[in-house]
Amino acid sequence: MCGIVGYVGQRSVQEILLAGLEKLEYRGYDSAGISIQGESGLEVVRAVGNLAALKAAVAEQGAEGAVAVLAPPATAGIGHTRWATHGRVTEENAHPHYDPDNRVHVVVNGIVENYMELKNELQAQGAHFTSETDVEVIAHLIANDLDEHGLVEATRRTYNRLRGHYSFVVQSSEEPGVLVGARKETPMIVGRSETEQFLASGIPAFLEHTRTVQALEDDELVVLTADGARFMTADGAPIERETQEIDWDVDAAEKGGFETFMLKEIHEQADAVAETIADRTVRPDGVDLPELDDELLRGTKRIIIVACGTSYHAGLIGRYAIEEWARVPVEMDVASEYRYRNPVVGPGDVVIGITQSGESLDTLAAMRLARERGATVLAVTNIMGSQATRDAHATVYTRAGLEISVAATKTFVAQVAVMYLLALRLAELKGSLSAERRTELVTKLKRIPHDIDAMLEHGTAAIDRVAERHFDKDFFLYLGRHVGLPVGLEGALKLKEISYIATDAYAAGEMKHGPIALLDQDTPVVVVATDSPVLDKVISNMQEVRVRGAHVIAVASEGTDLTEHAEETLVVPPTDWMLQPLLAVIPLQLLAYRIARLRGLNVDQPRNLAKTVTVE
Ligand code: BG6
């Protein structure tokens, strides 16, 4: 959840580090810092807040001559943006961290789980710590070994003493122009060129400089100098690592003309679905998922889905589709609950971890627990090479492209699409759906990208009206039935995440058992009322809401007139009722977006949230 960037080459490192961190800011932004190899050794600049604060600090210290921005430009350095886990959000806790003699600077993404024992050992030796963080121990440990072993070996020895989930980059005043990176279960990628090398937690940090990358795997280290990169295992054995060419265009990491990443990504949802289903729906009556073993799927007796946040809601929709089409029982649990409830799971079970980042610690832990107990573990993720792909027996990738906004949108619809593909594949292998019904569903699924584009082109007049009427409310209730319920849950989460308005989402049939007490004059109640076999039940719930003076906003299928039951209707194209979530969620994403913008909030970087939570 933090952003790391490192550079060694011929060019002035400050701009490269700051620009690189800007591209990673979505990973977390409580504080930021850079460390550069200036003429008088290592110089560090840190600031609380997002990158603008750091840039101001660099300019200010540069003006005082304290930082090498004015001296002959430094050509090696490391940088970091932080999402706090251990230690408050203070300048002292911002990375880079360093040893007392300022000889070793380190930036870290992740957590050192055994830091207390290491810190106690170091303090017993007289070490003085300047931060409350877990990761400062890394700088101390490396510095202690520096004179005897040199930077690379000192880093390798330190790496082997740490436990947890972390990647870090370190540099030393004793060995200018050398960076050492290490990876354990959180992302670290190397960018290569003839005369300069990069290290980062994500490709966007250096994509404008090079498209040639090398992945750093778990328990591996890399030594970077201006003219190259040398890989080794944590045991010190050299590794030959192939390079890959990245085909993302740089715009993929820019806003592409939209005012925010989130709006850009909402408008990329047609592509996200199209890409995700493209080569998997070639046959008219079936789905192909070559990543998954047919015999495994055919023999599946029970599926368990574990996920967090928005990904959990995608799993809920997947459950309806798998049970309805493939008649395979599906158990669901949020990963943070599953991992601690000593679940009954073992051989014969298929556990699916849905995680767009592939790095959510709770989901990874739930997947590992299932694997240890003999279950077959599948990952549904958006990030190549993420930890989830290493922990799973097989991975089905969503192809939503890079999602920068903290609030998930396009990765959600891509996840739902994967769940439909899986359910259809299972149904075909188990013979639980006729070829005719499969053909109907595959045909409608392939139309969804077109339906999404058509809907977005219709404009957002009704959504804007609802947002303008209710943006200052302090509570919204969301209702839905069947697959409409996870859509309501997701719509409610979106509003919470980016507008900070309290919301609740309930099965519409449950409203009379409690939530109806929350209704007051003009309380906004969003009802997912798209076509379905339970639509008449949903309509009666809408009537119950309206007689209490609440204000019903209905998501309705084109061609079904609900105007007499709702103050506003947000219309979506008709499709098979099981596929409706891919369409019904979009007006709710846009409603949350408009309300947050009317409240003047930072939609892409909501307070307290991070794009990926790799801590408990
Ligand atoms: C949260 C994100 O931290 O993690 C959500 O803010 C996301 O958007 C959730 O749904 C789960 O993340 P992932 O990467 O496991 O799908």
What pLDDT, in 10s, does the model give residues 327-365? 999 999 999 999 999 999 999 999 999 999 999 999 999
Locate the ligand 1 atom nearest the alpha carbon of residue 357 and give its number.
14
CA of 605 relative to ligand 1 center, distance in Å = 13
pLDDT classification of 121: cutoffs 50, 70, 90: very high
d(CA 438, CA 133): 54
Average pLDDT over residues 468-480: 97
- Residues lining ligand 1, CB < 6 A? 308-311, 355-357, 360, 363, 406-408, 609-613
611 noted as active-site residue? yes
Torsion of CA 105, 111, 114, 118, to 10 degrees: 20
**DSSP code at position 39:** T
Residue nearest to atom 9 of ligand 1 (CA): 309
Residues with Cβ within 8 Å of 362's Cβ and at least 6 positions away in sequence, in order, are 308, 334, 335, 336, 339, 613, 616
The whole-number pLDDT of residue 65 equals 56
Query: First vs last Cα of the chain: how many Å apart?
Result: 12
Asked if 115 and 132 count as a contact pair (C-beta separation under 8 A), the reply is no
Q: Does residue 168 or residue 40 have the better pLDDT? A: 168
* The pLDDT of residue 345: 97
Contacts 24+ apart (CB under 8 A), 516-522: 516/544, 516/545, 516/548, 518/475, 518/477, 519/477, 519/545, 519/548, 519/549, 519/550, 520/548, 520/549, 520/550, 521/549, 521/550, 522/549, 522/550, 522/551
Q: How far is CA 482 from CA 32, 209, 304, 316, 537, in A?
A: 44, 48, 19, 10, 11
Give pLDDT tens digits for 288-297.
Answer: 998 999 999 9
pLDDT at 120 over 90: yes
C-alpha distances out from residue 409 to 483, 491, 590, Å: 17, 10, 10
3-state secondary structure of 306: strand
Residue 204 scores a pLDDT above 70: yes
Question: In terms of pLDDT, which residue wins out, 59 or 151?
Answer: 151
pLDDT (mean) for 58-87: 71
CB atoms inside a 10 Å sphere around CB 543: 11
pLDDT at res. 562 = 95
If you measure from the C-alpha of residue 606 to the centroid of ligand 1, how many angstroms do you get, rounded to a whole number? 13
Percent of the chain residues past pLDDT 70, beyond the cut: 95
pLDDT tier, 251 (very low <50, low <70, confident <90, very high otherwise): low
| Residue tagged active-site, from 2, 55, 264, 410 | 2
Weakest mean pLDDT among 8-12, 91-95, 408-412, 525-529: 91-95
Q: Among 8-17, 133-142, 254-263, 473-482, where is mean pLDDT lowest?
A: 254-263
Ligand 1 centre distance from Cα of residue 609 (Å): 9
Kindly give the number of the ligand 1 atom that is closest to the alpha carbon of 407. 8
Mean pLDDT of 184-204: 90
Nearest CA to ligand 1 atom 13: 355
**What is the position in ligand 1's atom list of the atom closest to the CA of 609?**
6
Q: What is the spatial distance between Cα 431 and Cα 325, in angstroms, rounded to a whole number?
A: 10
Residue nearest to atom 5 of ligand 1 (CA): 309
| pLDDT value of residue 87 | 62
In ligand 1, which atom is closest to the CA atom of 411? 16
Q: How many CA atoms, within 13 angstroms, populate the side-chain half-sphere of residue 176?
A: 11
**In testing the pocket of ligand 1, which one of 334, 409, 500, 613 has its CB within 8 Å of the most ligand atoms?**
613
Is the distance from CB of 527 to CB of 540 less than 8 angstroms? no
> What pLDDT is attached to residue 72?
62
| Predicted pLDDT at 584 | 98
Can you give the pLDDT at residue 280?
87
- Whether residue 15 has pLDDT greater than 60: yes
Q: Would the pLDDT of 189 be above 70?
A: yes
The pLDDT value recorded for residue 340 is: 96
Check 55, 264, 410, 611 and give the catalytic one: 611
Q: How many angstroms is it from 307 CA to the middle of ligand 1?
A: 9
Q: Whose CA is nearest to atom 14 of ligand 1?
A: 357
DSSP state letter for 73: P
Nearest residue CA, atom 2 of ligand 1?
A: 611
Alpha-carbon distance 74 to 584, whole Å? 52
